[in-house]
Amino acid sequence: LGHPAGDAVLQEVALRLRNDLRGVDTVARLGGDEFAIVLPNTDATGAVRVSGKLLVALEPGMQVDGNNLSIDASIGIAAFPEHGDSSDLLLRCADIAMYVAKRTRSRYAAYSSTEDRHTASRLTLVSDLRHALDNDGLELHYQPKIDIHSDRIVGVEALARWRHPVHGFIPPDQFIPLAEQTGLIRPLTHWVLARALAQAAELERQGIILTMAVNLSVRNLQDPDLPGFVQAQLLKWQYPPARLILEITESAVMADSPNATAVVTALHDLGVAISIDDFGTGYSSLGHLRKFPIDEIKIDRSFVMDILAHAESGIIVNAVIGLAHNLGLTVTGEGVENQEILDLLAKLDCDTVQGYHLSRPLPAEALVEHLRRHAKQVAHASVTR
Q: What residues make contact with ligand G under the rule CB under 6 A?
A: 143, 159-160, 171-173, 176, 192, 215-217, 277-278, 301, 334-337, 354-356, 361
DSSP state string for 365-384: HHHHHHHHHHHHHHHHHHHH
Cα torsion through 110, 112, 115, 120, rounded to 10 = 100
Please choose which of Mn ion, ligand G, none residue 217 contacts, taking the beta carbon within 5 to 8 angstroms, the exact cut-off set by kind: ligand G
Looking at the DSSP bridge assignments, the partners of residue 161 are: 139
Task: Select from 211, 215, 332, 354 the one that contacts Mn ion (CB under 5 A).
Answer: 215
User: Is 128 a binder of Mn ion (CB under 5 A)?
Assistant: no
Residues 136-195 that bind Mn ion (CB under 5 A): none
In the complex, minimum distance from the CB of residue 325 to ligand G, in angstroms, rounded to a whole number = 21
Task: Select from 277, 296, 300, 351 the one that contacts Mn ion (CB under 5 A).
Answer: 277
Cis amide leading into 81 (omega within 30): yes
Smaller CB separation from Mn ion, 245 or 371:
245
Smaller CB separation from Mn ion, 215 or 313:
215
DSSP, collapsed to helix, strand or coil, labels residue 364 as: helix
Give yes or no for a contact between 298 and 274, defined as CB atoms under 8 angstroms apart. no
Looking at the DSSP bridge assignments, the partners of residue 75 are: 108
Find the part of the chain contacting Mn ion (CB under 5 A) among 105-113, 247-255, 315-323, 365-373. Answer: 247-255
CA 200 to chain centre: 22
Smaller CB separation from Mn ion, 215 or 359:
215
Buried/exposed 4-15: b ≥16 CB within 10 Å, e otherwise: eeeebbeebbee
Task: Select from 223, 247, 296, 306 the one that contacts Mn ion (CB under 5 A).
Answer: 247
Residue 152: DSSP 8-state? -
User: Is 250 a binder of Mn ion (CB under 5 A)?
Assistant: no
Smaller CB separation from ligand G, 24 or 356:
356
Question: Distance (Å, rounded) from C-alpha 227 to C-alpha 188?
Answer: 15
Applying CB under 5 A, the residues found at the interface with Mn ion are: 215, 247, 277
